[in-house]
Amino acid sequence: MVNMPLAHDLLWGMTPAQLPADAPQWAVESLAAGQPVVMRRAVSAEGLVAVGVRGVLREQRLAVFMPVDSIACRVSPEALCHVDCERDLPVMQALKQLRPGLDDCGWIWGVSGSVGFELASGFEAMHGASDLDLILRTPQRITRHQARKLVALFDQAVCRVDMQLQTPFGAVALREWASGSARVLLKNQHQACLVADPWTPQEQAA
């Protein structure tokens, strides 16, 4: 692996034998079927990455660690922006509806959550009431006005759309940044903390 995976990347190569001894049977079955795991934000030991195993049910999520050397394939959320599937669900309708506006926004965006999982792996994860989860790579600050314009775009979709802004210091919810909150919740592998500006949190802590 030349580049280390980022949060929300889908990784293939983990085997049931690499799960903890007390892992639930559904997790064993998920990996045995060839499903990918999802990169998550957490501190890991050298040679390992923090990942999550998905089950069929929403509550079936298992946080584990995967050896870096086991990663056989990696798919990022931004690689899924223009992937389609034949299932005519509200989330897919919303994705098709929002693509032009997102492509024109000037930022790199991607598809995560159940939609990204199914588009990348082919394993059924979406359903009629699924939310559309998106990410936006924002190395530079996106203004609150820009954030509100995106929220207004998303609110026209046929399902709920949630987006995480991926800053150099962690992730913040688009809807929270678009709100009038003086401080917003910034999440990274070390902690979740309230900050006034997700792009300069170190200055606020000084």
Q: Would you please indicate which residues are annotated as catalytic (active-site) residues?
A: 131, 133
The order of strands in the sheet holding 192-195 is: 108-112, 132-137, 161-167, 170-173, 184-187, 192-195
Beta bridge partners of 170: 167
Length of the chain in terms of residues written = 206
Q: What is the three-class DSSP state of 181?
A: coil
- What are the backbone angles phi and psi of residue 63, rounded to the nearest 5°? -85, 120
Q: Quickly tell me which residue has 């939310």 as its tokens.
A: 131
Q: Which two tokens stand for residue 179?
A: 């709100």
Contact predicate 185/194, CB 8 Å: yes
Q: Quickly tell me which residue has 């990347």 as its tokens.
A: 9
Distance (Å) of CA 56 to CA 28, 95, 117: 12, 22, 12
Q: Which two tokens stand for residue 163?
A: 């987006």
